[in-house]
Amino acid sequence: MTSPEEITTTRRCISAFYNRLSSRKVKVEDTVSCYDDTIIVVGTKDASRASEALTEFVGEEQRKLYESSG
């Protein structure tokens, strides 16, 4: 994932990603983070569930931001 620059100062962000993946029974094998790039490594069998879970999560959070600003 490539995130906006604000991710570097957003607390508990990666925990939110992990929680969402955990709720879908996705095993995280490794995580690498460098500035605004976050690479979460999952197994092949979990890849589609992980992608779906994170895409839904980001969409939900974007909707919350939109609703709170509108």
pLDDT at 34: 82
pLDDT grade, residue 12 (50/70/90)? confident
Please list, in sequence order, all residues whose beta carbon lies within 8 angstroms of the beta carbon of residue 3, skipping any fewer than 6 positions away.
13, 36, 37, 38
Q: Compute the distance between CA of residue 23 and CA of residue 60 in angstroms, rounded to an integer.
A: 15
pLDDT tens-digit series, residues 14-56 = 899 999 999 999 999 999 988 778 899 999 999 999 999 999 9
* Global confidence as pTM: 0.79
More confident position, 12 or 46: 46
Q: Region 5-19: what's the mean pLDDT?
A: 84
